[in-house]
Chain A
Amino acid sequence: MDPQWVIAIGTSVAAVAAGVGVAIAWRQLSKLNKSIRTASLANILQLEAEMNARKARVNEIACDIRRAGLEETPNVELIEILDDEMGGLIENWLNASDRLAYCILHKYWIERDWRAEYRPYMQDLVDSYPDKFGPNTRYTNILDLHSKWVRE
């Protein structure tokens, strides 16, 4: 056989093998991409559920205080205890919200997907708890994200 034919056949086989390799790699990458998206969505939903659960606890304790305040002679000690507990629960809620803000700010999640829902949410938090968002705030991610969205 002519050596040129051997080279040509060899090159063709190599090209087909390379094509198959690229197709397999493409398929694997697509699967990987899909699993990353699924994992990311699961993380988002988990963090949202956590935030919601913590918010619900804050709501419950606030209602308990209001109920205790309705008594003819309100139990001051009890209300003070509930108030202390509410302070801790609000911090828990803000911590979870701060994590969500971190994920959005650092582009772990696509910002435009979450902006519509969370812009008023963050605004509400910053407006409702001004004592938590002073110069020494621990919730810098919420504050940064809020400032960024206000500017845009």
Chain B
Amino acid sequence: MTDLSDERMALISILAEHSPANRIGRTQVMKFLYFLQVLRDVPLGYRFTLYSYGPFDSDVLADLANAEGLGVVDSTVIQFSGGYGYEIRPGRNADWLRERAARFLQRYRPDVDWVMEKFGSLKSGHLELVSTIVYVDREAADNGEELSLDEIAEIVHEIKPHFSHDEIMNFARWLNGQDLLEAAA
């Protein structure tokens, strides 16, 4: 476990509790933590890189597995037509770990609320898309590039061709309107 593992596991239980449905899926955990680290500068220490399903760090799932093992969260598989998902809820030992990470959780609680307000209602497929837009934007910003929204959407479309250019543009415009993109001209 990393030095931050208590804080990260406790944060996952908070995300589950404060999501609109009081439970959360695994894609949501991954993407919400990505947004917290990248858009809110919460120091989580993850190393997200891009996969076809968006920004991903296997350490998030390792933290989640550890949290399950310690009873900090409970996780069950749910079936739906044409696929499956997970429901994660706070576990019997969530409070125990939250006490150990109390200072961290208190400090970043407003950021959790912010992420929930902005992204809490998005479905998994759209979370993958929105986080990929942010990833493309930050990669360009880190390289000192300025891109138009259309250029960002075109890059994202090449990564995720199953989304239409228009659909990507809609989310890119929304993110830009929220002042969340850095490279967008």
User: Do these two chains interact?
Assistant: no
